[in-house]
Amino acid sequence: MTLPSTLPSLPEIPSVEIIRQVFAHGSSLTFSAHSGLPQSNERLEFLGDSYINFCVSDILFHEFPTLSPGELTALRAGLVSNANLNIWARAYALQDHLVMGFSMAHLDIPEKAEKLIGDLFEAYVGGVLVSNPDGRIL
């Protein structure tokens, strides 16, 4: 995938708490009786993944009216693959802000883990969604 020479700005996440959650890998969890927002980015990743898939599905559905559902699914899978999301996340240097527990951080995993960084991009999208009063980013 070739990225544009000038990237669009990422939507801002105004909440420090949500930003903290976006960049908190599950290995960074601390075990406490705190019952606030979840500490890792997994729920935001779930939301972001669903939203990205919906948006890409909607675009493909309208842009390619003659493709079968199987062809649309294959095309979407290629576009929203971990490899592509990893490229976008790295283009915005999201991995530089990822917080991991010692068990993961000392292994230098972000430099090698395509899925881990792709998931971070999805978590960022989820964070933007929950930060937006309308619940949408498009």
CATH code of 50's domain: 1.10.1520.10
pLDDT tens for 61-92 read: 999 999 999 999 999 999 999 999 999 999 99
Q: Can you list the alpha helix ranges (DSSP code H) found in 27-136?
A: 42-63, 69-79, 82-91, 102-105, 114-131
- Inter-axis angle of helices 114-131 and 82-91, nearest 10: 70
Residue 32 domain-assigned (yes or no): no
Residue 106 domain-assigned (yes or no): yes
Residue 6 domain-assigned (yes or no): no
The answer to whether 116 and 25 are in contact (CB under 8 A) is yes
Per-chain mean pLDDT for the chain: 86
Residue 78 domain-assigned (yes or no): yes
79 vs 104: which has the higher pLDDT? 79
Total structural domains in the chain? 1
Residue 59: the pLDDT is 97
Residue 113 domain-assigned (yes or no): yes
Across 119-135, average pLDDT = 89
Across 102-130, average pLDDT = 82
What pTM does this model have? 0.84
Residues annotated as part of the active site: 49, 122
Structural domain of 71: 16-23+40-131
Residue 111 domain-assigned (yes or no): yes
